Amino acid sequence: MTDSPLANPLKLPCGAVLPNRIAKAAMTEGLADDQLHATQRHETLYRRWSEGGAGLLITGNVMIDHRVLERPGNVAIDPAPAEGEPEAMAQLRAWAEAGTRNGNHLWMQISHAGRQSPRYVTSRPMGPSAVQLSLMGNYARPRALTEPEILDFIQRFANVARIAKEAGFTGVQVHGAHGYLLSSFLSPVTNQRTDRWGGSLENRARFLLEVVRATRAAVGPEFPVAVKLNSDDFRKGGFSLDESVSVVRWLNEEGIDLLEVSGGTYEQPRLLGYSGDADTASEGPAMRESTRKREAYFLDYAQKIREVCDCPLMVTGGFRSRAFMEEVVANGETDVIGLGRPLCTDPDTPGDLLEGRIEKTVCYEDDIKLAQSGLFSPASPLMPFKAIGAYVKDELARARRIKKTRSTSR
């Protein structure tokens, strides 16, 4: 192994140690069976990613509520396997074992989709308030959660974390970003409540903070608990960088072990490097011109958070060159590099970066952009659209099967 700063281990506040500074960021898998249990395909995929060399693997959304999924094929732990589905626990154990075979960490990302659950999954999404997601008519108007439901969901997050620990996952990440349920409570655009869960930032952050507190109580002080948080929603009137900084100060008091900084929502998908609806978009704080030419989308925003954050920081989104990754880790701009899309096609990317075998990750998204413009055509400029069509067709078919299976088994 080289003397790259990416190869340095990282000790977390809880005492656990990440073997290096590269993480596979969460990406939705859609590999669950029709009962929303983990499958052999999770084992195969995460075994391969484990062998790829990343020090940390974070799963895609594991849902606390089978009724409201981010997409068909999410794993859902509802009810808990120990409460009537022992085969589901065995499948979680197999997933955890496969995903940690190389001595790396495997953390379960725990989430609730909130209002960002498509119509073909549910016609009754949930949110802090009845504010509909405007995106091609694919999302129904959510109903506002009652306080008893909020309190129940807090315990569900904690319970799923406990099950993850029992199954052999080495940590958990609470998903408080990207417009999902916890994130939507943080935003004054989507949270228009007037009770203790809405209004002031302190009230809007209460749900996230209570979830983190309950999760820590469920897993104990020596088990990693991470949070994924938007640096900015990039939405007019939405959750801002200044508010994010305040929430991080409160998270410090809960003793989290890693904070992943991201940004955007379905309406403003900055997490993918794109802008969304121009009418509702907010640029957020102005970035330096040098930053606009850099790879990482959220690094400038992360620096404001870094000033107040007591725990290690992970930044995800846009990293591609080894030299730049090494630079930002060496100078303390971030402690962990989150990689997503490059690992979809080349799972050996982390090891290749650590050993100095590559200078830059694969960038297939650039080829897609060129294909859409007609300037580059590996086969046909229509290929990306054909792929999207095939994806949607499969999602609809899976959603129908899952609804049928779940309705007859519960």
The CATH number assigned to the domain with range 5-368 reads 3.20.20.70
CA-to-CA separations, 365 to 145, 340, 361, in angstroms, rounded: 38, 12, 11
Q: What is the pLDDT of residues 200-250, one digit of tens each?
A: 999 999 999 999 999 999 999 999 999 999 998 888 889 999 999 999 999
Separation between Cα atoms, residue 410 and residue 396, nearest integer Å: 21
Residue 369 scores a pLDDT above 70: no
Separation between Cα atoms, residue 151 and residue 210, nearest integer Å: 9
Task: Write b or e for each residue in 185-201: b if 16 or more Cβ atoms lie within 10 A of its Cβ, otherwise e.
Answer: bbbbbbbebeeebbeeb
Q: What is the pLDDT of residues 268-287, one digit of tens each?
A: 554 444 444 544 545 555 54
- pLDDT averaged over every residue in the chain: 88
CA-to-CA separations, 200 to 92, 227, 239, 284, in angstroms, rounded: 39, 21, 12, 20
With a pLDDT cut of 70, the percent of the chain lying above it is: 85
CA-to-CA separations, 216 to 28, 44, 158, 194, in angstroms, rounded: 24, 30, 8, 28
Separation between Cα atoms, residue 240 and residue 217, nearest integer Å: 29
Domain spans of the chain, in order of start = 5-368, 371-409
> CB-side exposure of 50: number of CA atoms within 13 Å?
21
φ and ψ at residue 225, rounded to 5 degrees: -125, 115
Instruction: Return the pLDDT at 47.
Output: 98
As given in the structure block, the two tokens for residue 271 are: 């997490």
Give residue 87's identity as a one-letter amino acid code: E
CA-to-CA separations, 250 to 147, 202, 361, 408, in angstroms, rounded: 22, 9, 36, 44
Helix 86-99 with 147-167: angle, nearest 10 deg: 60
As given in the structure block, the two tokens for residue 79 are: 């009810």
Instruction: Return the pLDDT at 382.
Output: 55
Q: What is the DSSP letter of 347?
A: T
- The better pLDDT of the pair 379, 31 is held by 31
